[in-house]
Structure 1
Amino acid sequence: MDKFILGVAAVIMIGLSISTFYYESTSKEKPQLWDGQSPQLSTENERTETLQPIYTDEQIGYSLQNDQLQITFDQGENWTNVPVEPDQLFSGEYNGNREELINHSYILNEKRAAFLYSDGLAEVGKRVIFIYSLDQGRNWEKAIVTEPYPSMRFRKVNFLNDKFGYMIVSGDRTMSQEMSNVFLTYDGGRTWKGTNPSGVTNLLSDGGFIDEKVGFLSLSYINPQEPILYFTKDAGNTWKSATIKVPEKYLEIFVRAEMPFKEDDHLAVLLNQGPNGDYLGGRVKGKFISNDSG
């Protein structure tokens, strides 16, 4: 009888030891909570989720995960929150993939982190906002570019140097017509001034500046038939239509101008086939050059 009691006691003690070991082992695997600096986020499943940067170069990237815009300058080792609501970044007429920022609506490099967005109520007119940091997100400044402004469709911002930058936006679209505006800054984005309007209400498809004086606006229709390119040589004080001599055999094939660019001692521009082009699979473009600044 005593041997039986001793045997039962031994089994119980072994069971308790196993249970204790199991509890201690599992209790060490606690979920890691994100503290605003670590790229680790807690999830509903109490498992850690590493932010996956969308890179702008080898070290610098951003993330829209966890319903928050965050930027990194060291391949995701450290993260900084950008003080803007993600919905504001996509506000307006935009139906693309909200897992990535809209092309050309932001700048993210070692010297400048900047984002273009709009806020405000649609019924009273939204504001076009430019928020930027020159110290990798430690401090932020916000500039109101214009107000009120209708819901944006096209948006693009870029800087040619530390001080001069341009912003091109369009809105209030009705079929193949809309308003478009160009804004310039000469103080790094702190203040913006609108140029004179081009006077053209076709849909904006691209645009930009080559230098502080020469700029372009590419316009189009929903189903374009020919390229429409306007240029300025006086920083947007006046705009004129550029002449693009498309060879007859390529008429109605190369129909939409992209942003011109410098090449050697002249300017060049690529004409694409628009949204419905199928010439050689729709993948080729026509290249044209200009020796008179467009």
Structure 2
Amino acid sequence: MFVYDGMTRQQNLYGGNSEPAHSTPSSEATPLTSDELLAQQGTAPDMKANQTNQLDLNQQTQELYLTTNGGTNWSFVPLKPEWLRSGSYLLTNGEIPMGYWMDKTYSISKEFSWFIYSENQKELFFLFSTDNGKTWQKSLVSDTAQRIRYRKAQFFADGSGVLVYSSASPEVSSEGLEIFQTNDHGKTWHRNNGTTIGQPVQNVSFVNPTLGFVSTRENLYYTNNSSGSFKEAVVTIPADYQTGGLDLFQSPNEVTQVSTNQLETKFYLLKMSGIDQGKMFACLYRSSDNGETWQFAEQLSEVKPTE
């Protein structure tokens, strides 16, 4: 479970923009030449993968490779592992070990493999391949991505997508959240909005480019106007549960639309009574008003501390 130290600036949640929205100086993606890519130094893995689509780190050469066929073939990924971990990459109990990556900071598939990364702790880039890693393209997301902590991208069937990152500061516990959108599978990005969340961001989940959710360890916020503004959602917590600084919902538990008027997600709650007192459980929640209010549906499985 990813649980992050707090950090950042003053609160500016309900009004939306912390500054006027503007398009980031973006570069339209074009195929990269060999001179623009890292050169492969080691050999590709010679092993079967645990999954059909998988990213592998060669610990000896510190090189990244991907497979989209369970390890029958591997392709070199022209990124340094530390570029994927740019900025803060800490749990409350220490740094996440090399080889573990934040969820939804990359995706592997035959049709579309992509990575969010920064080489210099300032410019944030999007690298992608549509041919199993044979060729690569990159686009600029932001040239002011400093003190980055949480980061994530989601894509939808029509080629649109949302990319977010939070900016952290050691002085205060709030975080600045920057939100970008694409309509062409990440070839170009524009800054859609920016806001400030009063606690460290735990997860961001968009159902579509218009409807999205931001969770901290105690609160849930939603936007229904493409990140133009955010409001706090009402989450009904049963009497024998509590949040208590625990995760409301945690990636990879996304908000999903299960019917025309119903959303679902899992919230992680602490049981406060009975034989399971002190244990954390994933609990199914539903909303019938586009995420404005959430009702408890049922307790699901226990969440172990290592999950």
Give the TM-score normalised by structure 1: 0.71
Q: Following TM superposition, by how much is the alpha carbon of 1:198 offset from its aligned partner in structure 2, in angstroms?
A: 3.4
Residue 287 and residue 79 in structure 1: after superposition, are their counterparts in 2 closer, same or farther (change >3 A)? closer
Identity across the alignment (%): 24
Give the TM-score normalised by structure 2: 0.69
Aligned residues: 235
CA distance, structure 1, for counterparts of residue 140 and residue 245 of structure 2 = 38
Q: Following TM superposition, by how much is the alpha carbon of 1:78 offset from its aligned partner in structure 2, in angstroms?
A: 2.6
Higher RCO, Cα 8 Å, sep 6+: 2
Map of 1:181-196 to 2, 5 A cutoff? 181-196=178-193
CA distance, structure 2, for counterparts of residue 83 and residue 39 of structure 1 = 13
Map of 1:1-294 to 2, 5 A cutoff? 39=44, 50=46, 53=49, 55=50, 57-58=51-52, 60-65=53-58, 66-94=61-89, 95-120=95-120, 122=121, 126-174=122-170, 176-220=173-217, 227-252=218-243, 255-258=246-249, 259-264=254-259, 265-273=261-269, 280=277, 282-294=279-291
Query: Contact 1:113/1:133 (CA < 8 Å) preserved in 2?
Result: yes
CA distance, structure 2, for counterparts of residue 267 and residue 142 of structure 1 = 34
Residue 173 and residue 248 in structure 1: after superposition, are their counterparts in 2 closer, same or farther (change >3 A)? farther
Task: For 1:90, give the aligned amino acid.
Answer: R
Structure 1 range deviating more: 195-204 or 90-99 = 195-204
Structure 1 range deviating more: 195-204 or 131-140 = 195-204
Q: Gaps spanning 5+ residues in structure 2: where? A: 1-39, 90-94, 292-307
Match of 2:281, SS state, is: coil
Residue 165 and residue 106 in structure 1: after superposition, are their counterparts in 2 closer, same or farther (change >3 A)? same
Structure with the higher fraction of residues in helix conformation: 1
Q: Deviations over 1:230-277 (max 9, x none)?
A: 111111112111111223332445853224222344112322148xxx
Match of 1:88, SS state, is: helix
Q: Gaps spanning 5+ residues in structure 1: where? A: 1-34, 41-49, 221-226
Q: Deviations over 1:158-184 (max 9, x none)?
A: 212251111121122335222222211
Larger radius of gyration between Structure 1 and Structure 2: 1
CA distance, structure 2, for counterparts of residue 267 and residue 134 of structure 1 = 31
Q: Following TM superposition, by how much is the alpha carbon of 1:281 offset from its aligned partner in structure 2, in angstroms?
A: 5.3
CA distance, structure 1, for counterparts of residue 137 and residue 243 of structure 2 = 46
